[in-house]
Structure 1
């Protein structure tokens, strides 16, 4: 049976009109602090829950960090303080979905049932009826996951309980990359601006140093939820990043009585497989390919077989894969038939788990490369070879002229993205095998970008990246790459 928890704060904390709300959230997200697109998404965020006019920009800064994982996250656990009534423990609602003017967000009932097994968790619908602290986060979630209606929430309200009880709930729902923890909390309340700034800066320091036991209700209304997260994050040796810190005086102009707001992101200690420094990337990625490269190629071949049967890429089962392959990564998958290119599609930035990126790009290389006909079952022989290239974060590649550009190239190592306006061309380092002369490399790269081969302009820009890769012919015996294997979905 479907039970909808209707919107309680539409028209007060945020616009009641769907089109106005949609535009408001889109504008807040567009103005949010930019985060490097390759940057791994956090495992948890702390965001405020005041009206959008007061804290919407701060909340957007928090939610902007999860954009690299929009295809990975399937569940958001939202934990915040109960403002409307006091009770013992932690409360879940009867609802199977929560509603805003943008539609409904389904509740993960299996997750709810799992925490109801804990003595500190109870069903208490009355606590949720008028509560704003969880609902205010929903329009951001609906905006980010607008094309993924299967994404679910686990809404939890905290009242009278011990920190270790929150910690137990956080641990129970922690999950893997598919789960994001969202802690909803404002900071200090109703002090003058100078006092609030001092208090909120102390709270920032406590959070950045995981000093959970020193946080109190004067510091944050959601201190219990924050403390629970900090205790778990500290045990897991996580990293935390302060994203934003300000108070209501910025919006209201009133410095005599303010409320503080902050946003933080918590990252696994070894989240990113693509370090910013090139040597770190090459060493880490080569290590991953040495251990899991054959498995990635197998996963790619299964995705192509799955595509032949289902006309869709394989969805990698994150629960059965090594952790390294669940971290964000960007790759290209290249297919060659009898030594000739047969398909090559990839990602420039890391925005989903490496394993899923391989599945998606293998499917696209086989069936969606517009230069070639679709792969057929008859093509799945030893004559069809495959390689996977994992990309580093593209870095600016400065130059003063075409001659300078050519002179700066490092053959057989550089991957280059050349852009001019909306035209862009990318060559993987493997292209040097066919075009070893830097001048020829540059001329063909311009053609790849849709530009004349003799074109040059001071509006041209370039980025450089490196790759580490693996080829099927080096790790698979004849007749084994395309052999059918059972796979988990």
Structure 2
């Protein structure tokens, strides 16, 4: 009678051999293990590494996916899976996985940093070689700064533009002509609350009939003498599913001026991610669909390179029709209730000279998303009373010595709260409501009891522990439903640091639900990692997605005994 094959021992030897370079022996051991245990995650992972090493990324991906299904918590397998996705061009899927791993286990964050570095090393197909630009970065920056006129203080607005239309740049003279438009942008950039992290740069191809629809340049950094600007892979993925949008790097080999705008944007905005879009043969309503998807988010600026319309009252006979990108921008801005303002000496239509720019300004006070969540209206005095109410409820639920409870008359309206218990800065329990279905006072008392007794991550809080815990109460404002076409579109609209996010999804006959308050952004700064953690909190895999996913964003007021 033969003894059983020592699977674990063989795998340990194979892993050691793979690390030391004895890959042939490692492969033999892996094959032997798979004959005995074909679904063993460790063996599948090593087999995937071997396939990846052989350049068979597709085979490796299938093996890593099977390994991950058997060991979903193995960060090494998940990292290998992300790398194979990245190589196969599934860049956003890879980055979502890598960002979540970086928060789950910091040593596993190597893949996330690796992807960012690789994307910066890849050069975009559209990077311009404008010969009239100064090649020395310091001199170019000085020239650009000198060429941007000071903005007239009387024209500075409290609300910066959401979208900017600037004239095309074909040579040095045109670059100087665009200076006033970028000077206005620089003035907005100095506003404390205005921080642009993403720019969508849209222009027309020199030969629009050369291709159909809207062309993406593909992944890769866009480069000017001032340095490399990361490609916005998330923005590109937002457009997935639009049939007239495709990756066409060859379209960028023809004439266009997008690259000429890059150093001006860099000198004004500093660091940002960029999505260049080139319009070929497309209808205005199609380009409007592209802009509509990319519009939401207070940290996104849309720049359209297009000939500006003549000033009001100008002579010269029949004018050429507006460029398709400008027509599309007008459609989207009008649908969202934005006003168009004309910059430069012709803003009032008095002096008939070419306009410097057109700006589309948001007219509301809540940003630019289709529907903004409402802030809760809780005063500091009321917030402290809610914390005291939660403290009394905690002692009552655990049998600790009684604490005085404030009156609840001010909290009889329906409200939703999230209660967190911490011990020496570490979580000890939390529970919250996703909807306002009962009086706020009742909701706080119910959730502090649930946080103390029903959080599955911890043992129940004892009477001896309760007095030493810190109680925090977060009150949710009225949430607003996010509308999105895919997961990347949802991620695109999240505002780190501001949004609390509620997830609900009916999956396999069960309603999954979860909530992460704005404070969670401190540990999960990436929207990809934030949404992944929220899915896990709701009892779903971190890489789960379904058309049934519903997301609502909310504003939160937080009050704590620690303050």
The two structures have a TM-score, normalised by structure 1, of: 0.47
The higher radius of gyration belongs to 2
The two structures have a TM-score, normalised by structure 2, of: 0.41
- RCO comparison, higher one (Cα < 8 Å, 6+): 1
